Amino acid sequence: MRLPIIRLDPVRGPRVQRPGRMVRAAAITIGLFVTTSVMAIGADLGQAEQLVQDGQYQAAYDLLAPLEAEHPEDARFYELLGQAALNTDHADSAVRFFHRSLELSPDSINAHLGLARAYMAMGNYTAAKIQFETVLRIDHLPADLHQQVEIYAAAARDYADGQRLFPFAYLLTGLGNYSVNATAGTDEFGGSDTDDNFYSLRGGVGLTYELDDNYAINGSLDYRYRNYEGDRRDDKDLRWNAAVNRSLGENNLALGVRGRNSYRGNGDYRNDYGIYGDWRIAASAIDQFNLGVEFRRRNYPRGPLRARSRNILEFTAGWTHALLDGSAAFSLVASGGREYATDDRPDGDSNFFGLSPSLSLTFTDTLGGFVFGWWQRQRYNIENLNVDGADEILGILTRNDNLWEVGGGLSWQFRPSWSLNPEIVYIRDYSNILANNYSSTEIWATLRKDF
């Protein structure tokens, strides 16, 4: 027990001084010190933010780096330090700083885009794309992984500069060859002698607009045209998409509508339109998962193809994984669903399921390649006649199809935003109904310009 201090006062007599006054004085002193320190810290952050805005990244880095121990729980501090580090060739440190910022503030768009750019600077293009796609959705990107992250990075830099509207556009033109291969179906029904050269034209525009509260809207138009030398029909196809999405930590949710209008020859068209949802999940720096659902209508408005009209419900699940320190990406997508026949489609309803693997490789900053496959199994529910070309009945069967596509290509970016892209695709449709067997090979090269 501490005794009170007694002092004698010659006028008033003994006076007791209790320790409470000293405690209050000490508390006031400490409070003034803390307040002064907080004001100093706030001034440092304000100064650093202004330096970053002015592009004086080295000065901002020199100011902030010594203060890291004083800001262990400040997301904004780590975000500014990450931006300063990224722009002063400290990409590995920037990754750490942005990660810490996201631990403290998982919904920070600036930190996600900064982390993506830091991964890109380190050559980890797959990790960069995963982080970009937690915030941004840009349709119809080039096939090359490096070019994809370059387009995302341009939008991210604009966002850091205060822009919220990100328009984009592209043009492609090319030459190729389309050849129908011999199968039981094409030989019997006179289609395997098709061998046509063609030229193609494609163009598209789109935009992304970032709203408040991590919402964004997206839209795009994509037109494709192919003109053949022979008697085969010319292909025309217009695709459209509009969606609203929201970034939530390591997730991005989207809900939208999309469709296409396609010319099928002989004055016939096919119209597709529907609603879809998509959920992207950045499970780690090197893994992304996708879950999707779509309900769409495939409509042939008139002519002999009208009976093929149907409604389609489809579910998808995808996985993307980084390889070779992020210079390559492997993806696998599984799909399944049901087609609901309308207008008396001969084969009735059908269930389907399939797989689609792909591999993207970055050889250099200007050269990339890709290979892909696609398989779908389709089982129908109405028995139908199987006939040969002479209308001889071969049996009554329930139609079952196995559809295959394999292909690949290269992408050479010979100038910024310009690329040359040779590709090849082989298609094979196996069916227990003779007329539905089909095979073709397409080879082409396109010149692409991104704006």
Residue 272 has pLDDT above 80, yes or no: yes
Residue whose tokens read 């293009």? 125
> Which residues, including other chains, have CB under 8 Å from residue 12's CB and lie 6 or more apart?
none
**Residue ranges in 137-296 assigned as alpha helix (H):** 145-160, 184-188
Q: What share of the chain is helix, strand, coil (3-state, %, to 5)?
A: 30, 50, 20
- Show the tokens assigned to 358: 């792909």
User: Residue 22: its pLDDT value, please?
Assistant: 56
Residue 250 has pLDDT above 70, yes or no: yes
DSSP-derived secondary structure letter, 4: P
User: Residue 193: its pLDDT value, please?
Assistant: 66
End-to-end distance of the chain based on CA atoms, in angstroms?
80
- Show the tokens assigned to 176: 């190729």
Tell me the three state secondary structure of residue 272: strand
Q: Considering only 9-13, 69-73, 266-270, which range has the smallest mean pLDDT?
A: 9-13
User: Residue 188: its pLDDT value, please?
Assistant: 54
- Among 308, 240, 249, smallest CA distance to 282 is for 249
Domains of the chain, by residue range, sit at 157-450
At 49, the pLDDT band (50, 70, 90 cuts) reads confident
pLDDT digits (tens, 9 = 90+) for 187-246: 655 555 678 999 999 999 999 999 999 999 999 999 999 999 877 788 999 999 999 999
370 neighbors 347 (Cβ within 8 angstroms): no
User: Residue 69: its pLDDT value, please?
Assistant: 85
User: Residue 145: its pLDDT value, please?
Assistant: 95
Q: In this structure, is the dihedral angle defined by the CA atoms of residues 153, 158, 162 and 166, taken in order, positive or negative?
A: negative
pLDDT digits (tens, 9 = 90+) for 104-152: 999 999 999 999 999 999 999 999 999 999 999 999 999 999 999 999 9
pLDDT digits (tens, 9 = 90+) for 141-189: 999 999 999 999 999 999 988 899 999 999 999 999 999 988 766 665 5
**Residue ranges in 161-213 assigned as alpha helix (H):** 184-188
User: Residue 424: its pLDDT value, please?
Assistant: 98
Cβ atoms < 10 Å from Cβ of 50? 12
Indicate the angle between helix axes 125-132 and 145-160, nearest 10 degrees: 50
User: Residue 128: its pLDDT value, please?
Assistant: 97
Cβ atoms < 10 Å from Cβ of 169? 14
d(CA 335, CA 356): 8
User: Residue 386: its pLDDT value, please?
Assistant: 63
20 phi, psi to nearest 5 deg: -60, -35
CATH T-level topology, domain 157-450: Porin (2.40.160)
d(CA 330, CA 319): 8
Kindly write down the DSSP assignment for every residue of 9-42, as one continuous string. Answer: ETTTEEEEE-THHHHHHHHHHHHHHHHHHHHHHH
Cβ atoms < 10 Å from Cβ of 349? 16
d(CA 188, CA 183): 8
Mean pLDDT, residues 82-108: 95
Cβ atoms < 10 Å from Cβ of 4? 8
432 neighbors 397 (Cβ within 8 angstroms): yes
pLDDT digits (tens, 9 = 90+) for 328-379: 999 999 999 999 998 678 889 999 999 999 999 999 999 999 999 999 999 9
As a dihedral over the C-alpha atoms of residue 61, residue 67, residue 72, residue 77, rounded to 10 degrees, the angle is -40
- Region of residue 94 (left: phi > 0; alpha: psi -120 to 50; beta: else): alpha
- Show the tokens assigned to 375: 């398989």
pLDDT digits (tens, 9 = 90+) for 308-332: 899 999 999 999 999 999 999 999 9
Tell me how far apart the 2 most distant CA atoms of the chain are, in Å. Answer: 135
> Which residues, including other chains, have CB under 8 Å from residue 85's CB and lie 6 or more apart?
61, 91, 93, 94, 97, 118
User: Residue 32: its pLDDT value, please?
Assistant: 39
